Each structure stands twice: as structure tokens, then as C-alpha cells.
Amino acid sequence: MAHRHRYHIVTDPNDRGCRPGETLATRELAVIQRWAAERSAVPGTEHEGRPGVLALDFPGFKEKGLQPISWEEWFKTFQARHLWFLYQERLRDGRPSNFYKVVPAQYVEEAAPAQSM
């Protein structure tokens, strides 16, 4: 059985978490798209022609073999696979963070959304 973690669950695109370095979790497409847009990241996948591993492509950090796909395809696959998007808004030192990870639901223990500061 996979080890489950508790994360600050984000449901509102305006929720930026409580503290720098905090790992946040969401299934809300508006939150994911807002976070990616602020970093000029675009949706991608490792397979051409059909969505495989879902990823985001950041300017200047082109991953080898990553193929662009539409947000519609990315979100449809994300939802169908019941995935969670783990991410950080800011590093511990306060700088913007590009950390994210797409994980299966069994890795996230749902909790009530934490209150934002």
C-alpha cells in the first residue's frame, strides 16, 4: 500500500498556501492552469498522438521527448486517471517555485482545505 501524505488542499485559484516551501495539492483545473500560466508553462505528454505521462513544459527547460498537447486533452486525462497535482507557490526563501508533481490519488490523503493567510 502506498504511503499517503497530508497536504494543504487547494480548491480556489486565489489560494496561495500558508507558508513558503509548503507543498500544496489540488484536483481543480483552474488552480493548475493559473499556476502554470504564471510560470509560462504549457501542457505536454511523453507520447505523441495520445496522452501518456502528463507533464508541464517550462520556457528554457525543454524536456527531451515531451510533446505538446492541449489543455483540454491534459485535463481530460488528468480527471479520467483521478490524479492529483502537487506543487509549490514559493520556495522556503520566498522565491517563486516551479516544483510540481502529478500523482495518483492513493498518495494524497484528503483533508479539509487549510485556511490561507
**Tens digit of pLDDT for each residue in 9-26?**
998 888 888 788 899 999
- The confidence score (pLDDT) of residue 115 equals 45
**Tens digit of pLDDT for each residue in 66-116?**
888 999 999 999 999 999 999 999 999 999 999 999 999 888 865 444 444
Domain membership of residue 94 (yes or no) is yes
Residue identified by cell 490561507 is: 116
The tally of domains found in the chain comes to: 1
Domain membership of residue 117 (yes or no) is no
Question: By residue range, what is the domain housing residue 44?
Answer: 5-109
Domain membership of residue 71 (yes or no) is yes
Please give the model's pTM, rounded to 2 decimal places. 0.83
Calpha distance 98→63 (Å, rounded): 14
Q: What does the block give as the cell for 115?
A: 485556511
Domain membership of residue 74 (yes or no) is yes
Please give the helix or strand (H or E) that residue 104 lies within, else none.
strand 100-104
